[in-house]
Copies of this chain bind each other. A is one copy, B any other.
Amino acid sequence: MKTDKLARLQAAGWKVGSAEDFLQLNGEEARLVALKLSLISAVKESRIKRKLSQIDLAQRMKSSQSRIAKIEAGDPSVSLDLIVRALIASGATTRDIQTTFTANERMVG
């Protein structure tokens, strides 16, 4: 791609891809996935700790038992939003959430 055209595209607000960008993104994607996995573990841990069934937790966050199962199974159809909602609804404390985040970040650097 010509440099001037690239500059014009960038000026207009477009994303411009490259192999390097792709590799970089993979590293960041891995970091996000690692974070999700940490939060998922925290959800199950928090739920069990408070002796809540999946149905109990589902009621608390107005979701369904099958969604909770999918959250804990790491199903790809589950968003970070939903995971964090579940973590909050499960009664995880400030410190629980913080610790999860910290532990995850420590792992992935």
Q: Which residues of A are interface residues toward B (Cβ below 8 A)?
A: 10-11, 13-17, 21, 24-25, 28, 31-32, 35, 54-55, 58-66, 79-81, 84-85, 88-89, 94, 97-98, 101-102, 105-106, 109
Contacts and interface: CB of A to CB of B under 8 A. Distances in A.
B21 A59 contact: yes
Nearest to A85: B32
B88 A97 contact: no
Nearest to A55: B10
Contact of A79 (B17, B28, B63, B81): B81
Contact of A21 (B28, B62, B64, B105): B62
Given A35-B84, A84-B80, A55 B13 contact: yes
